[in-house]
Amino acid sequence: MTDTVLSGCDNCGSPYDASAIVCPFCRSPRGLAGLARSPGHLGDDNRLDRIVTENLLARSDAGIEDLLARDLAGPLSPGDLRDALVRVDERNDPSVADLENSLALESAIAVDGITLADLIDKSGSDLKIIKRGLTFLKNRRWAEALEWWTLHRENLSPTQERLSLLLLLMEGFTHRLAGDHRRAADVHARIVAHPLFRRMRGLERK
């Protein structure tokens, strides 16, 4: 009988089977903690990659181990992580009809792990903005939907962080619907760098 080779977790230090991809104790993927702890003096791209990695480490959804086993079988890079997260979110994305129905039923529909109902201010213009954008999506008018989300987001004040994050989520969702994974990954990096997203996902203190 062959003895199991153990290797310490990069995140919590616990020893576990060296052939396993995710630590059974803290659920951190093997080899990612070093990226998450990379020096803060790095450039903007490196800082965004570190934030993306922190978000991956914080995820607890059941599909993360399957993602790493199947999609990231080779050497990891920050770009691989961005693309992999886009693929996970694409598999978990609701349909446009589900999103539209959730606005009326107040259901817990989530995009990128964030429940949209937690971001929408129903006393303001948020609903009108989202409903109009979803009309573009239903008709597969991706470019017009993206222009709609971007136009409204760029006109927001710094105090409107909920709507700002909501529109970024919708922008990333639209890129995934359009099959543009590279732009979706770029938007995802901006989403996980958003202060409100980081607080809601427990990556930063409130």
Please state, in angstroms and rounded to a whole number, the distance separating the CA atoms of residues 44 and 129: 31
Spatial contact of 10 and 33, defined as CB atoms under 8 Å apart: yes
Question: How many structural domains comprise the chain?
Answer: 2
| Structure confidence at residue 38 (pLDDT) | 41
Domain co-membership, 77 together with 13 = yes
Show the tokens assigned to 109: 């529909």
Domain co-membership, 59 together with 122 = no
Domain co-membership, 69 together with 114 = no
pTM of the predicted structure, to 2 decimals: 0.62
Q: Within its chain, how far is the Cα of 36 from the centroid? A: 16
DSSP secondary structure code for residue 127 in this structure: H
Query: Containing domain of residue 192, as a range?
Result: 96-200
The reply to whether 101 falls in a domain is yes
Residue ranges in the chain whose pLDDT is less than 70: 1-4, 10-12, 18-92, 105-107, 204-206
Of the residues 92, 112, 135, which one is the last residue of a structural domain? 92
Q: For the chain, how long is the longest CA-to-CA vector?
A: 66
